[in-house]
Amino acid sequence: MNALSHRSFRWLAPAAAVLAALLLWQLVTAGGLFRADQFPTMTNTMIALGKAVATPQYWAAIGATVQAWFLGLVIASALAITIGSALAFSDFAFRSAASVIEIFKAIPAIAILPLVILVMGSTLPMKVFLIAFGVFWPLVIQVIYGVRSMDPTVLDTSKALGVRGVRRFFTVVIPSASPYIATGLRIASASALILAVVSELVGGAAGIGRNILQAQNGGTSAYPVMYAYIITAGLIGIVLTGAFFLLERNVMHWHESQRNIRSNNEGVRK
């Protein structure tokens, strides 16, 4: 398969799969398998989506959701990288904190939502806190394992060269643990978006989730609008995941994992 054919296949295959799914959606709804009050047709949903895109409320909802996603993810990432690195360098601290991390990781973030709403109300800080809480625990585990998997020779060499403190953290520790951190961030990104939408659905804060709830409460005629916002949430998730893949590929172009991916792609093109 030459390079042009391989590139075309990579783009056409996903597009064909999406088109097939949309056609199947239209067939099962227009054919009577589902009633209109159960599941709207694909065409009605796309019409509703097109109308929603032309309204400022649509973009305001997206902005509110993405803002909470971004702030929650940034706060959780900063805390996870700092605390995870500190725990990884101390066996005693790691053993002491491991059980606490596992306990809190097992608590669904949505379970504390009523308490968070009671304290903070249906506000942006409520969403940010919930996202940061839910994302922090799995991410800090990735950081700990990433730092602990660092080659001891690299650490000893940095000490011998006098690289210490903050400089060693940014030039040795973070690059060495970057594959684990990158994987954790990619997974955390999707989790953060889910928590943002759920907090809006249940907590009533501004965003895509609240618009979905309002459309649901609007009756059968508003169901296409509800599914239009659900599709919007899915599209945002795809865009964010793709952005993290591109960021990982460009920022970590020096790492062995990315070199192997490039070598495999070149082999397929040949």
Rounded mean pLDDT, 166-193: 86
* Encoded tokens for 57: 């409320």
Q: Is the pLDDT of residue 210 over 90?
A: yes
Q: Is the pLDDT of residue 1 over 60?
A: no
Residue 265 lies in a domain: no
Single-letter amino acid, residue 110: I
78, 134 contact by CB (below 8 A): no
The residues near 178 (Cβ < 8 Å, ≥ 6 apart) are: 146, 252, 255
Q: Is the dihedral of CA 136, 138, 142, 147 positive or negative?
A: positive
Single-letter amino acid, residue 200: E
pTM of the model: 0.83
The residues near 159 (Cβ < 8 Å, ≥ 6 apart) are: none
Instruction: State how far the Cα of 112 lies from the Cα of 134, in Å rounded to an integer.
Output: 10
The residues near 96 (Cβ < 8 Å, ≥ 6 apart) are: none
Nearest to 129 by CA among 195, 36, 208, 213: 195
**252: three-class secondary structure by DSSP:** coil
pLDDT, tens digit, 9 for 90 and up, residues 2-58? 555 666 666 677 778 888 888 988 888 887 777 767 788 899 999 999 999 999 999
Q: Is the dihedral of CA 129, 135, 141, 142 positive or negative?
A: negative
Residue 267 lies in a domain: no
The CATH number covering residue 236 comes to 1.10.3720.10
Q: Give the distance, in angstroms, between the CA of residue 179 and the centroid of all CA atoms in the same chain.
A: 16
The residues near 253 (Cβ < 8 Å, ≥ 6 apart) are: none
**Alpha-carbon dihedral of residues 7, 10, 12, 16, nearest 10 degrees?**
170
Q: Between residues 89 and 159, which one has the greater pLDDT?
A: 89
Residue 87 lies in a domain: yes
pLDDT, tens digit, 9 for 90 and up, residues 129-175? 999 999 999 999 999 998 888 877 777 787 777 777 777 787 888 88
Residue 182 lies in a domain: yes
* Encoded tokens for 142: 């990735």
Residue 29 lies in a domain: no
Q: Between residues 160 and 178, which one has the greater pLDDT?
A: 178
Q: What pLDDT does residue 234 have?
A: 92
Range of the domain at 215: 40-255
- DSSP per residue, 223-255: HHHHHHHHHHHHHHHHHHHHHHHHHHHHHTTTS
Residue 244 lies in a domain: yes
Considering only 14-18, 237-241, 266-270, which range has the smallest mean pLDDT?
A: 266-270
Residue 146 lies in a domain: yes
The tally of domains found in the chain comes to 1
Residue 16 CB-half CA count within 13 A: 6
Q: Give the distance, in angstroms, between the CA of residue 95 and the centroid of all CA atoms in the same chain.
A: 29
Rounded mean pLDDT, 203-221: 91
Q: Which residue has the tokens 């970057």?
A: 178
Residue 8 lies in a domain: no
